Structure 1
Amino acid sequence: MRGQRSLLLGPARLCLRLLLLLGYRRRCPPLLRGLVQRWRYGKVCLRSLLYNSFGGSDTAVDAAFEPIYWLVDNVIRWCGVVFVVLVIVLTSSIVAIAYLCVLPLILRTYSVPRLCWHFFYSHWNLILIVFHYYQAITTPPGYPPQGRNDIATVSICKKCIYPKPARTHHCSICNSYGSWDLFREAYAAIETYHQTPPPTFSFRERVTHKSLVYLWFLCSSVALALGALTVWHAVLISRGETSIERHINKKERRRLQAKGRVFRNHYNYGCLDNWKVFLGVDTGRHWLTRVLLPSSHLPHGNGMTWDPPPWVTAHSASVMAV
């Protein structure tokens, strides 16, 4: 039955195409008809010469965006320099306004104990900001081993095409995390401290008035931004995760939950121990010498291998015993 239907439909379709072609030729002017024929001929030649079975819309889009990718790869390396200069300029402007405009005001209005506390706390934060930011921009990030080794690798780095150890990420802008986090916390502390009192408009000088308004708006906005960023990273550190590991662990948790299993992070040592590992605290004295005071101590481990938490060691021992 299908064969008979196809035999009947075949000539009918051919006749319909001939009728449409004749009507098109009668209605279409010769000039437009010639352009259409040349267009079709060029399209056939292009497909004949450049046909690729592996090509497609995705390949065409990647080829079209290749100049943009090249521009991003070559320009983004200078973003770090721009950001560093911007932070230095903004921080220097805050310090200059604090000394030239705020200090004369508090010398006339603050009591001696409050003045001493203000002087000590502000300069302590300033020292921490300068030291930790210098550490963040000068500390080398480390490099993956070039030769063969026994270190377990998770994936291949897309930027340097080398095996990437666990918990590592190749950032094109920033290279150091620990010192940057300490800098961010110190900066958030001093910004929050300076934004607490409302701006005063009692100065007669116009420049001083605008400087105080600039100081208040800058400190308030930076305090909100760095405060939110500090809370976010504090949660990640408490859970023993990096920003990328959070997304990976979230997917893994859903996958195991669908199977009725419980996901446990193999790099989570507990909230307090995670902070000790992150800050490099080994003894109680280190909270003062390595956290509250400037310190250039090295982090735990070599950055490529990580000691398992106690529950992983206990589980492995029980499995070996069985």
Structure 2
Amino acid sequence: MFGRLGDTCSLWYWTFFHNHFATSSYIADTLFEPLFWLLEAIAKKAGPIFVTLVTLLTTSVVVIFYSYILPWNAAYWSTPALTINLIIGHWLLLNIVFHYYMAVTTSPGVPPSNVDSPVSICKSCIVPKPPRTHHCSVCKKCVLKMDHHCPWINNCVGHYNHRYFYLFCVYMSSGTIFVCISIYNQFMSYFYGSVGTFFSSLIFPIVSIFIAAYKPPEYFGSTDSSNMPIILTTEELRTRFWVTYEFFLCIAVTFALGTLTVWHGMLISKAETSIEKHINVKEKERMSELGATFKNPYSFGFFENWKIFLGIEVGSGRSIRHVLLPSAHKPTGDGKSWRMSTRKTD
């Protein structure tokens, strides 16, 4: 009797828990599934908060620039330098606002119900998937040429808004560098009285902010020729605080967003998305074990990949002007089928 019971329990155990395809990676994915669900729920709920945060931080940088930086530059810069500064600044601002708005509001593209040449069936949507299409667990839908889900735009980055997203990263990184350059002399003059070295300027302002929080205004500021502290007015303290805030915020964004921009630029150069990067790495390893070489079928070389991505390839009727100035032109193709490069293989 006990033997039969043991056999029955063993049968139940193997029925419910045994999987011939189970691997360590499969088990790890299963164990972390609740964590993935939590992160997806947070990303979905926090998306509008991130968009609001980007809007508020960008607005604060622009307002501070007009209120505190531009008047100082107008007083100390030459007319040609100020004119060039204004032209570059407004050109960057126009591109930042345009590309961010388009990245947020443009649908990345979803596959139709009838696909001519599907490569697989989505396990979640139960619909045919075209090449380069992947399911977004946050948006709960398949996305054409999906790169990733970005909470900072509360949207997926896919076929129809990938260019908007990347150019926003480029122009925002360039804009923060532009602000750092524009504000540098003013920043140094406030805390040193003259222009000093760049790295030494990163230490004293932080200390000054803490001093201002615990000491009266007469303890805050530089000294005159008699080595006596200069008493600063409330307006001067406010100016120094906002200048410091702007300088360090732009430095932080430059490093963080600049790194992301470089990473995506490398992917675009190889005609890959973030998802395809991981897939292709595994495919290279598999082909290497078979003694073969993997080639990305969607890559046409460095320059042609960039032209295709930016939508300025030969015959498109567009040029670099459509990259340097805001342009709402659509990407090449419909996202359902892709032109593939042909190579001679051994």
Number of aligned pairs? 265
Q: Decide whether the 8 Å contact of 1:200 with 1:212 is kept in 2.
A: no
1-structure distance, mates of 2:129, 2:75: 58
Question: Does 1:289 find its partner at 2:315?
Answer: no
2-structure distance, mates of 1:227, 1:68: 29
2-structure distance, mates of 1:65, 1:305: 34
Cα 1:55–1:207 change in 2 (3 A) is farther
Larger Rg: 1
2-structure distance, mates of 1:264, 1:60: 31
Residue deviations 1:201-247 (CA, integer Å, cap 9, x gap):
53951111111111011100100111111111111111111111112
The structure 2 residue matched to 1:268, chosen from 299, 303, 314, is: 299
Q: Decide whether the 8 Å contact of 1:157 with 1:163 is kept in 2.
A: no
What is the SS of the residue equivalent to 2:134? coil
1-structure distance, mates of 2:258, 2:297: 28
Question: Does 1:115 find its partner at 2:82?
Answer: yes
Identity of counterpart residues, as a percentage?
38
1-structure distance, mates of 2:259, 2:180: 15
Residue deviations 1:67-96 (CA, integer Å, cap 9, x gap):
666544444322221211111011001001
Residue deviations 1:126-165 (CA, integer Å, cap 9, x gap):
0000000010001012222224x3222245264x443332
Question: Does 1:167 find its partner at 2:132?
Answer: yes
2-structure distance, mates of 1:65, 1:245: 22
Q: Structure 2: 5+ residue runs without aligned partners?
A: 139-148, 150-154, 192-231
TM-score, structure 2 normalization? 0.68
Question: Does 1:221 find its partner at 2:252?
Answer: yes
Question: Does 1:194 find its partner at 2:225?
Answer: no
TM-score, structure 1 normalization? 0.73
Corresponding position of 1:87: 54
Cα 1:258–1:69 change in 2 (3 A) is closer
Residue deviations 1:175-206 (CA, integer Å, cap 9, x gap):
23220101000001111122235323539511
How much does 1:60 deviate? 11
1-structure distance, mates of 2:28, 2:277: 30
1-structure distance, mates of 2:29, 2:99: 41
How much does 1:54 deviate? 3.6
Higher deviation after alignment, 225-234 or 97-106:
225-234
Paired residues for 1:1-322 under 5 Å: 53-56=14-17, 71-147=38-114, 149-154=115-120, 156=122, 158=124, 160-171=125-136, 172=138, 173=149, 174-175=155-156, 176-196=161-181, 198=184, 199-200=187-188, 202=190, 204=232, 205-283=236-314, 286-309=318-341, 311-312=342-343, 315=344
**Structure (1/2) with the larger helix percentage:** 1
Q: Structure 1: 5+ residue runs without aligned partners?
A: 1-43
